[in-house]
Amino acid sequence: MRCRSSLALSLLLAAAGGAACAAGALVDPQAVLRGWLASLAFWIGLPLGAMMLLFAHDLTGGRWGAAAVPPLRAMVAALPLALLLLLPVLVWLPQIYPWARPEEAAHLRNQFYLNTPFFLARAATYAVVWLLLAWAALRRPGTGANPVAAPGLILLGLTGSFAAVDWMMSVEPDWGSSIYGMMIISGQLLGALALATLAAVLGGRPDGGRVDGGRVDPGQRNDLGSLLIAAVLLWFYLSFMQFLIVWQENLPQEITWYVRRLAGGWGWTAVLGALAQGAVPFLALVWWPVKRSRRGLAAVCALLLAAHLMECWWLILPGLEGGFTWFAPAAALAMGGAGAAVFLRRLGRRGAGRAPARAADGHVAAPAALPDGARHG
């Protein structure tokens, strides 16, 4: 009953956000597209980050998978929907990207890369690769290691970096950063891990039990909290290094990117994001009672997800004429409601809820001891 009510609420929120965007498209379609792209950067990153974490768990194992793998698989199942939500951006490219407007692209030196046919071909390539990897992640072999895990991680790293450059960085085609793709991927990993941890701890009972038969005990919560610390540090390091290098070089063609994002309200957004996605979660998670607490860990994960959404807006909207409008939250609501419906439906299925078997010491059992070949979840 609880799952059905959550599913109904998700669909209601999706309908409300979609109706707001549809009405706004009649008045200011460019504003809606800006908010749509900025919010899509958040939602499409969750299944991509989830796939990376699934492949990493296939390679390394660990008891954290008993709690995190089911929601990670549910996130990957939402990838086709996220790719479908990309279509409005691809159809109305000139409304968003300056390089797609011939009169503004004439002075660009990278037209060989930033042009509509090649852009669409790359987007189709990313979609095909990701869908095949998602199929491999969800239809993994019954026993033994997943042979797709290692090459899958490499492909996700490459395609994810290029997609970040294409869909996010190219809103300002005169600016470039070699660390940008890795920074975006670190945010995707952090967001996916935060959502998986949130779903795991909220899906369990206070005594650590889960309706689906798995266990989210204090030890697993401690492991998930430690992984979140590592993800926070990775994101903070890459974000700060890009800022430090660009600011130290002090070149006009590079520093203007940060000037736009540190002026006015966007500057406060940057400070708040650094605190909410970096300092505050780190300081909370290094205190072990928070890592072992359901409520404490859930609060940190919710803060990380909200901060990551705000970061995606901060990365894209200042570079577009018109900046932030309330269509960005409306688009986030529409996408989030639809994605949550897919996520909850998949997570509620018996196959998605099956967790890895664990030995008496709390570690994942050997492959031979797992029923139905559910190694690592």
Q: Per the domain annotation, does 195 fall within a domain?
A: yes
Q: Per the domain annotation, does 30 fall within a domain?
A: yes
Domain count of the fold of the chain: 1
CA atoms within 13 A on the CB side of 219: 11
Domain span at residue 82 reads 2-101+114-354
Q: Per the domain annotation, does 109 fall within a domain?
A: no
Q: Which two tokens stand for residue 345?
A: 């439906």
Q: What's at 322, amino acid-wise?
A: G
| 104 contacts 232 by C-beta, under 8 angstroms | no
pLDDT recorded at residue 67: 87
Residue among 65, 150, 151 nearest 374 (CA): 65
pLDDT recorded at residue 375: 38
Predicted confidence band of residue 305 (pLDDT cuts 50, 70, 90): very high
In this predicted structure, the answer to whether residue 162 has a pLDDT above a threshold of 70 is yes
Q: Per the domain annotation, does 374 fall within a domain?
A: no
Q: Per the domain annotation, does 108 fall within a domain?
A: no
Using one digit for the tens of pLDDT, what is the confidence trace for 262-296? 988 899 999 999 999 999 999 999 988 888 888 99
pLDDT recorded at residue 210: 43
Predicted confidence band of residue 4 (pLDDT cuts 50, 70, 90): confident
Higher pLDDT pick, 124 / 288: 124
Mean of pLDDT values over 319-324: 86
Q: Per the domain annotation, does 65 fall within a domain?
A: yes
Q: Per the domain annotation, does 371 fall within a domain?
A: no
Mean of pLDDT values over 54-74: 89
Question: What is the crossing angle of helices 218-249 and 65-77, to 10°?
Answer: 60
Higher pLDDT pick, 89 / 322: 89
Q: Per the domain annotation, does 256 fall within a domain?
A: yes
Q: pTM value?
A: 0.87
Mean of pLDDT values over 80-105: 91
pLDDT recorded at residue 298: 93
